[in-house]
Structure 1
Amino acid sequence: MGKNKKLGCLSLLLFTPMAMAMQPLDDQSLSAMTGQDGLTVSVNISKIDFKQAAIIDTDGFTNSSATLPGKAALVMATSPGGPANIGVDFVQTFNANGSIQNSSSELFKAVIDSDAGTGTNGAFANIALSLGGNVNGIRIRPFSVYLAPDVTGVISSLSGSAYTRGSIFSTGTTLKSANIKELLRVSNNIDILFNANKPKMNIQLGSVPQGKMVMFSGAIDSICGSGNGCNMMLVSDYLTSGDVSTSPVGVGFDFQFTGHNGSPFSLDGFYAGVEGKSSLDNGGFVFGNAGESSKFDLKLNNVSLGNTGSSAIETFNSLPNASIGNIGAIGASVTNLKVKVSGM
């Protein structure tokens, strides 16, 4: 009997702290500890480096007249002859010479709270995301987008719990297969400059009293706002056909997006989320805005088709191929935009 009592006391000593540790923390408990409701998470990151990112279609293309069940992927990676890594920098200062100073302090803060809401199934979690005080923009480094077929070792795979990582490159930036095609090349840094009223996101999970899963606010000043913009090309071939080490040939342009007349472009009214299946479609990720947006300038500068500078005898009197000029919209806005992306 004494032995059983000792075991009982030992059990209480061992398991009572564990039971206390597993008790949920509600707003009242958190408030007593931190002096505020909910939970605040602060994250410090100065940059993100990676080699490749892929969207993989595992079952190929199917329509009423053909079934092509080949696995394939769209892969974001470095351009031929480029550095090993691509990535994103979180910027404190964009310098006049094109260099940047990365932000070494808080990247963003998430304030997480929950509420019972109103009515049946009204409970929701609210996550308010805001940028750190020294984060004034984002730089996306140059990259290319490739179309990759299911060649051995090219596309990553997951079988059960076994993950096999693939790569479109054999060594350096040498492509593993001639069937891997470069579709898009971004030759310059994509610099996104935030306004003093920095972008914010408010995310709601469960019931959504704000009407959308994600609501944006704040503003940006520009994307590729310096000079003529960021050079991009839809790649068709190369100066020496099929040789990726030579210059790409295709449709080239310099992309630029700014607020109109020096004003920032407001993100107020823009939203994102996931819609379920309906009688009209299978649902998917949605992005859009409610009402009319603020005005913006969108430009495609120095649009060129084919190989700039080339000419052919007896074609347009041997005139060299050159830019066809600039295309754009000045002082434009969008009203009730809605874009839906469904699964591949």
Structure 2
Amino acid sequence: MNILVVGGSGLIGAHVVTVLRERGHTVSTVARTARPGVDHVLDVGSASIGELRPLLAGHDGVVYATRTDEQQPLPKPIYPVFRRDIVEPVVRLFTAARQEGLTRGVLMGSYYTYHDRLHPQWRLADRHTYIRCRLEQAREGRVAAGPELPVAVLELPFILGRAGDRLPNWAGPLDRWARSRAPLAVPVGGTAAASARSVADVAVDALERASGADIPVADENLTWHDMIARTAEAVGLPRRVRRLPAGTVRAFLRLGGLLAALGRKESGLDATHFADLLLAELFIEPTSGRSLDPAFHDTFPDTGSVETSAARS
């Protein structure tokens, strides 16, 4: 196969490129900034169908592996901004891909769409603009692709791993917290997690099968306690992790929502309802069973050990 990877220089995209090449496929990449490994420089987020078609010509499939910061506070109303960033580029991309005769696609989505199917009573799309747009992204992207271009939507949880200098966008604050020796305290609840390499394996499997399925991806399910404890252990500062009372978490997030409202701002995950998600076990079943230990150490390296090894060499 000849595959175009949009966001091929990012954490997940870079791993997809690696797995495709390992399996003997031909790959080209596109990103918005020039860097090693990027074949085409184009801002797909704003590119027209006419600009995308020459990029897609001659390919069998396309992978869309870019993302949006769902928790960045923005001036109200945020729905038009999130729709412009999340939904509309995917519609244009898969419209162009269909017109160029591509036969398979993969869209990197969110595990919130998995939980929306699992728990419709949570009304996630009504409460969170980001989740609403993720659902629209998958639905409208598939409509644009049409039946001749099946699009697999990978429903991704927290992603761990590294690709060169590319790390998960949330890893920096967590890394600094774990290294600070400050007390560690977390709510009940938890999340599914996967390594970037596992995501890439699933993505390439979907391309090879020309799958059009919703595919939830997870290696392990972790409580927040486990997540923070393993992060602290990875950086070389293991210590006790305390649990925060649910009432404290709810009060803190309500205050954040109130302050944002006073500033006429909101984020993709509404602070008023975010405690419900944070305190829930957002797990995926079944998991792959792969250990996340290597991905934890790639994401949060023990720099003390690295410096010691460097000094010895």
Please, what TM-score do these two structures have when normalized by structure 2? 0.25
Q: Which has the higher helix share?
A: 2
Q: Which structure has more RCO (C-alpha within 8 Å, separation ≥ 6)?
A: 2
Q: Which has the higher strand share?
A: 1
Please, what TM-score do these two structures have when normalized by structure 1? 0.24
